[in-house]
Amino acid sequence: MSDHTHHHRTAPREWRTGILFLLPAIVLFGIFVVYPIIYNFQASTLDWDGVNPGRFVGLDNYTRLFQDPIFLTTLKNSGWWILLTIIPQALIGFLLAMLLNEKLRGRAIYRAIFFIPAVLSPVVVGIVWQRIFDPFNGVVAKLGRATGLNLLVHGYLADPKTAIFAAIVVNVWMWTGFSMLFYLAGLQLIDNSVLAAAKIDGAGTWRTIRSIIWPLLRQTHLSLLLLGIIGSLKTFELVYVLTEGGPNHASEMLPTYTFKQAFQLQSVGFASTISVVLLLIAVISSLSMVRAFGSGFLTGDEK
């Protein structure tokens, strides 16, 4: 009985203390996450230029959005971006990690070289690659002319059919070192005795990679997959600098289109609508990943 009373008396105090500990995080979360989401959603129901009083239009912006061919292009481009950056980045990154995990002379230097693009400013990368791809005076075209490989003498960024893929190539170049680093970290965690056992069992290199190393890196694959999806959805600077979303919106991504609507076309309401959809896509894809694969790869817990 006394125990029971005791429990009842201290519970609210514990609760209060707990809340107090949580408060700083709650406040920050509220200000920087919850509030902008609510604000954004509200703005998406307005015809509003961001400065002057807006006009409530209900869900009109959403209707307009799904009839907007440029929005559909951005969805398609995001799909390509997710598919064509995550897979090649993972494969090349894994390959590099395997190579640079060996005791190679100067491997620290190689690791640094492959990782450098990831720490460069996307703006710098964009300007440099625009010049590399320039069919008139760029390195790729000059190489093509020198070797007779006409395939290289093409304005890949200037052609609406190829612009998004050219941007994806640059993105893969930029972020492969990052995947490599993740895989290197993952490789360090693999217990050597497992590899030794595999060797004793007569597994060759290929067999070891396929049946031991690759499956054991599951957490790394999943982390890269999630980071890749989020990164793809958030892509802005690189595309903005490389193509400005063009030509004729062919390489438009959700964030570049949002920026154009909000700040060039003064349609903050419509831009907010795009942001809401972007948020939904990000949340749904993250949640379904957690659903499908468990949250172990996020928290580091083995499942």
Partner 1 sequence: MKRQRRLGAVAAATALTLGLAACAGGASDYQSTSGGSGSLTFRSWSPIEQTTQQMIAAFKQANPDAKIDATIFNYPEYLVDLQTRAASNTMPDIVGLQPGALTQQYRANLMPLQDCAEKTWGADWQQKFYPIGLEQARMGNPAGDENFYALPLLVQTVNLWANTKIFEEKHAQIPQTWDQLKSTVNQLKGGEYAPFMLPAKDSWLRNVVFLQIANNIEPGLVYKAEDGSDTWTNPKIVEAFDYWGKLFTEGIAQKGAIGLDAYPTGANQFEAGNAAMIPLGAWWIQQSDPTKTGLPPLSEGMSGYQPFLFPTIPGGAAQPQLVGGIDVSLGISKNTKDPDLACKVLTDWIAGAGAQKLVNTFNDLPAVTGLNPEKFTSDKQQQIWTTLTSDWMPQVKYSRYLKTPQMDTALGDALSGIATGELTPQAAAEKVQAEQQKVNG
Whole-Å CA distances, 132 to 56, 113, 126, 128, 152? 47, 19, 10, 6, 11
Closer to partner 1 by CB, 60 or 134: give it.
134
- Binding partner 1 (rule: CB under 8 A), the pick from 130, 208, 223, 286 is 130
The least distance separating partner 1 from the CB of residue 303, rounded to whole angstroms, comes to 22
CA quadruple 106, 109, 113, 115: dihedral sign:
positive
Residue 153 phi, psi dihedral angles, 5° rounding: -90, 70
Nearest to 77 by CA among 149, 215, 171, 195: 171
Amino acid at 42: Q
Q: Measured between alpha carbons, how far is 273 from 291 in angstroms, rounded to an integer?
A: 27
Identify which of 182, 173, 184, 172 has the alpha carbon closest to the alpha carbon of residue 108.
184
Nearer to partner 1, 91 or 124 (CB): 124
Q: Which stretch binds partner 1 (CB under 8 A): 71-79, 83-91, 107-115, 153-161?
A: 153-161
| Shortest CB 222 distance to partner 1, Å | 26
Provide the token pair at 76: 């398609």
Is 66 an interacting residue with respect to partner 1 (CB under 8 A)? Answer: no
For position 244 contacting partner 1 by CB under 8 A, the verdict is yes
Residue 22 interacting with partner 1 (CB under 8 A): yes
Amino acid at 194: V
Binding flag, residue 34, partner 1 (CB under 8 A):
yes
By C-beta, is 73 or 220 nearer to partner 1?
73
φ, ψ dihedrals at 46, nearest 5°:
-120, 155
Q: Does 260 bind partner 1 (CB under 8 A)?
A: yes
Judged by CB under 8 A, the residue of 2, 5, 67, 137 near partner 1 is: 137
Compute the half-sphere exposure of residue 269: CA atoms within 13 Å on the CB side of its CA. Answer: 19
Q: Which residues bind partner 1 (CB under 8 A)?
A: 11, 15, 18-19, 22, 26-27, 29-31, 34-35, 38-40, 42-43, 46, 48-56, 127, 130-131, 133-137, 141, 153-160, 163, 243-244, 246-250, 259-260, 262-266, 268-269, 272
